[in-house]
Amino acid sequence: MSIINELEPVLKRIEQRLSSIESQIGGTRPLCDVVSREQYSCSEVADLSQAQGIQAYKRYTVRLACSQGRITEAWKLEDGSWRIPRSAVLRILGNGIPPQRRNGKT
């Protein structure tokens, strides 16, 4: 009976953690709903990544990835700012920014 008495508080903590995780997951909106516009700036992608992505990126990191060609669909405007299409933003939030190529390899 002592094993059951020792396990009971552990199981209660696990149950509390699971409830907390379930409530957090239940409160998030699907990425398709969050990313509704056709294009985003580097700042907006960085903000979205910090709120919804699998990895949080800073604006500079997103801009650098665009200039290095790692976000292949991104294009540069005349004022020097970058625009990233919705499809690329969804991919970044779900999978992260593709790694930098080194010596022709990823």
Average pLDDT for residues 84-101, to the nearest whole number?
A: 91
- 36 contact partners, CB below 8 Å, separation of at least 6: 86
Burial of 100 (0-12, 13-18, 19+ CB in 10 A): exposed
Average pLDDT for residues 79-88, to the nearest whole number?
A: 96
Residue whose structure tokens are 């020792």: 6
Q: Please report the pLDDT score of residue 32 as a whole number.
A: 66
φ/ψ of residue 75, rounded to 5: -135, 155
- 20 contact partners, CB below 8 Å, separation of at least 6: none
22 has a pLDDT exceeding 90? no
Domains along the chain? Answer: 36-100 (1.10.1660)
Q: How confident is the model at residue 30 (pLDDT cuts 50, 70, 90)?
A: low
**Pair 48, 34: CB distance under 8 Å:** yes
Whole-model pTM?
0.68
Specify the amino acid at residue 30: P
Q: Please report the pLDDT score of residue 55 as a whole number.
A: 92
Q: Please report the pLDDT score of residue 47 as a whole number.
A: 94
